[in-house]
Amino acid sequence: MQSVIPVNLPQHAYNVTIAPGSLDQLGTWMQGTIEHPLKLGSRVLVVSNPVVFEHYGKRTIASLEQAGFTVAMCLLPDGEPYKTLETLTKIYDAALANRLERSSTFVALGGGIIGDMTGFAAATWLRGVNVVQVPTSLLAMVDAAIGGKTGVNHPNGKNLIGAFHQPRLVLIDPQVLQTLPVREFRAAIAEVIKYGVIWDANLFAQLEAAPHLDQLSNLSAELLQAMLTHSCQAKAHVVSKDEKEAGLRAILNYGHTIGHAVESLTGYQVVNHGEAVAIGMVAAAEIAVALQLWRETDAQRQLTLLEKAQLPTRLPVNIDLDAILSSLQSDKKVEAGQVRFVLPTQIGAAIVTDQVPTAVIRQVLQQMRTI
């Protein structure tokens, strides 16, 4: 069981490979083939955090050394509060101490935070070295590892400092998800459902047919492989059509407009990113129905899927609707004072619009209050 998904960017084409057990062949995958050698240099800096490294560090290093790479390590503290310029210095220090060169490669072994920070360090070290993404969380596998968005947080906002820097390879080993906490697994399922709604009706149908979506142990290896493959294909297609988010790529922000507001107003403590996106998807769906862009029955089908994954579909208790409305105005996605929404038009298609009356947003949010 193996899927190889090309990301067809003219200057930086690469593959996303999804193969169970592939972590032990990372070194071989990084060599490429005789016809298409990847030329990733001989020195590699593996960047990870202590939690992931404890589980997968030894195997990663062994595989790289077996393939002839000289390997150095850099462990960063785990968690969003450490996604800063200060933490980034640790990667640069390790790169300097281990004499990483222009031809060398950083390997990101971890979730989205490790991937974003390692990618940004690779974009800037010696004005750009290679990066290979080895995502270990479901969220990073289906989203952050693909598409080249890298960066760190500013004290006043998430991901405000960053660069586009495409990886040379994304290697996904679904078996590493066995150590992922169940809440993180569910949260990422929100993004998988998102791809079904905005891009891939076939994926949506597969998710509807699945008996369970709430935890990894309830999924067959075949369904997991199919979910990963369809999600990564959706992301790869969108990114290869619009690398720098001049247009189409914005559809990936489905559920993120209200989602970001809910996340930040609850101090990133009450709901995690995927849970907030699930709430945002319900809101966007209801807005689309109110504007007669989407059928009520399809919005209901989406709700049923989110519930099957045991994701939240109502606003957290005590959240202030006016605070949500004013938070929308300060979002990165606001252009010329208009809040941008991604709204579905059928299962598998969505549009981006800034023509949503505030009264409609308010009415939908009121309906979504937790009673």
Which residues are near ligand GLY by CB under 6 A? 143, 147, 149, 245, 249, 252
Coil/strand/helix, residue 224:
helix
Residue listed under structure tokens 């968005």:
149
Selecting among 43, 194, 235, 340, the annotated active-site residue is 235
98 annotated active-site: no
Selecting among 43, 130, 191, 243, the annotated active-site residue is 191
230 annotated active-site: no
Nearer to ligand GLY, 177 or 252 (CB): 252
Please, what is the minimum distance in Å from the beta carbon of residue 161 to ligand GLY? 16
272 annotated active-site: no
Q: What is the DSSP string of 138-180?
A: HHIIIIITSS-EEEEEETTEEEEEEEE---SEEEE-GGGGGGS
Q: In this structure, are residues 23 and 176 in contact, taking their beta carbons and an 8 Å threshold?
A: yes
Joined tokens for residue 344: 């579905």
Selecting among 194, 230, 260, 340, the annotated active-site residue is 260
Selecting among 158, 159, 208, 245, the annotated active-site residue is 245
Q: In this structure, are residues 147 and 239 in contact, taking their beta carbons and an 8 Å threshold?
A: yes
The continuous run of DSSP H or E covering 302 comes out as: helix 296-308
Joined tokens for residue 258: 């209200």
Please, what is the minimum distance in Å from the beta carbon of residue 245 to ligand GLY? 6
332 annotated active-site: no
Cβ-count burial 70-98 (b if 16+ within 10 Å, e if not): ebbbbbbebeeebbeeebbebbeebbeeb
191 annotated active-site: yes
Q: In whole angstroms, give the CA distance from residue 370 to residue 191.
A: 23
Nearer to ligand GLY, 83 or 249 (CB): 249
Selecting among 49, 130, 153, 253, the annotated active-site residue is 253
Nearer to ligand GLY, 27 or 167 (CB): 167
Selecting among 83, 168, 230, 249, the annotated active-site residue is 249
Q: In whole angstroms, give the CA distance from residue 140 to residue 83.
A: 15
Nearer to ligand GLY, 83 or 149 (CB): 149
Please, what is the minimum distance in Å from the beta carbon of residue 104 to ligand GLY? 26
Coil/strand/helix, residue 44:
strand
Please, what is the minimum distance in Å from the beta carbon of residue 249 to ligand GLY? 5
Nearer to ligand GLY, 245 or 331 (CB): 245
Please, what is the minimum distance in Å from the beta carbon of residue 253 to ligand GLY? 6
Q: Determine the straight-line distance between the first and last CA of the chain, rounded to whole angstroms.
A: 46
Please, what is the minimum distance in Å from the beta carbon of residue 69 to ligand GLY? 28
Compute the Cα dihedral for 240, 111, 342, 297 and give only its sign.
positive
Which residue number has the CB closest to ligand GLY?
252
249 annotated active-site: yes
Nearer to ligand GLY, 168 or 249 (CB): 249
127 annotated active-site: yes
256 annotated active-site: yes
Q: In whole angstroms, give the CA distance from residue 175 to residue 325.
A: 41
- Report, as residue numbers or ranges, the catalytic residues: 127, 149, 191, 235, 245, 249, 253, 256, 260, 273
